[in-house]
């Protein structure tokens, strides 16, 4: 079942560390946000396969925005 991964803080997408098709374990970083000059990883909530990435590097996201989907 697909699960959305949401940003837990407002920030700028600093780095996308996975791509669709990548396998991830619970706690693996999917993207890294930059907020207040700090790098904050957004982690996979469970093991699965990245289905889609919904952001681009340099994009601003708000708290609660969906940044990726895993299966």
Res 53: pLDDT: 98
* Reported pTM: 0.92
Q: What is the pLDDT along the chain (71 residues), one digit of tens a residue?
A: 899 999 999 999 999 999 999 999 999 999 999 999 999 999 999 999 999 999 999 999 999 999 999 99
Contact residues for 62 (Cβ-Cβ < 8 A; gap 6+): 7, 10
Protein fold of 3-70: OB fold (Dihydrolipoamide Acetyltransferase, E2P) (2.40.50)
Q: How far is CA 61 from the centre of its chain?
A: 11
List the chain domain ranges: 3-70
Closest CA to 68 of 19, 25, 1: 19
Cite the beta strand spans of the chain per DSSP E: 3-6, 11-16, 23-24, 29-35, 38-43, 48-53, 60-61, 66-70
């Amino acid at each position: 079942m697909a699960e959305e991964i949401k940003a837990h803080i407002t920030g700028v997408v600093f780095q996308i560390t996975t791509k669709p098709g990548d396998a991830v374990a619970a706690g693996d970083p999917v993207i890294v946000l930059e907020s207040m000059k700090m790098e904050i990883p957004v982690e996979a909530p469970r093991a699965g396969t990245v289905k889609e990435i919904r952001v681009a590097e340099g994009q601003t996201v708000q708290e609660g925005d969906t940044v990726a989907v895993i299966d």
